[in-house]
Structure 1
């Protein structure tokens, strides 16, 4: 049983997922720039704007974790699992993540961030 409150645990997981998402988006940006798209700029701008939002959110999370004496570090990984150590206000917990779960989490966040921008623009137009 974890001693970590749900809110803090969720932020700790975001500290795992968001850097992975940035890595995926950097690769996608490179693929768009080198690809044979007719209009590259809209795709590039969408990815760059999304990355900026993610970087901002990640910076906020890192500040919160630092202020609250919380750390997340990758310990080890193999073909199936990745282990992280969560240091929470003097307590240490080891969490094992199934790699496909990590991949699915990153994909869900990608959908959220890409659609979030679109939905915010739609709301602004309607207002």
Structure 2
């Protein structure tokens, strides 16, 4: 039985996680904009930079998927699991992800992208 190429799985999973990350960043951005922060600009800039990085990575992911005839479609969902359908040429594969795993991975990505954004635009960078 043929399977999805193993090197394609990180791209397929990025197509799952990055849109979730962008939703979290957008909601956090809105909360900061509306919130009682005294100095909003640093937080807003950090989130905007993280969004740019994530959007760029998502664009690269989508490009890879198109180039290699790959597709991801969300399937059924319940309180514990969400299934995703992976398509590659004539191959169809269903993978179930724990909703807790999805949340934890998005949280890891959030930390990673905020760290990258901070490094990219830090006031304390050495010249």
TM-score, with normalisation over the residues of structure 1?
A: 0.91
Deviation at 1:120, TM superposition (A): 4.7
The equivalent of 2:23 in structure 1 is 23
User: Is it true that 1:42 corresponds to 2:36 in the alignment?
Assistant: no
Say what the alpha-carbon RMSD is for the aligned residues: 2.0
The equivalent of 1:101 in structure 2 is 101
Moved more, 17-26 or 81-90: 81-90
User: Is it true that 1:77 corresponds to 2:77 in the alignment?
Assistant: yes
Query: Aligned pairs, how many?
Result: 126
- Structure number with the bigger relative contact order (C-alpha 8 A, sep ≥ 6) is 2
Q: Matched residues in 2 for 1:16 and 1:115: separation?
A: 21
Q: Matched residues in 1 for 2:53 and 2:6: separation?
A: 23
The equivalent of 2:67 in structure 1 is 67
Structure 2: gaps of 5 or more residues: none
> Counting helix residues as a fraction of each chain, which structure ranks higher?
1
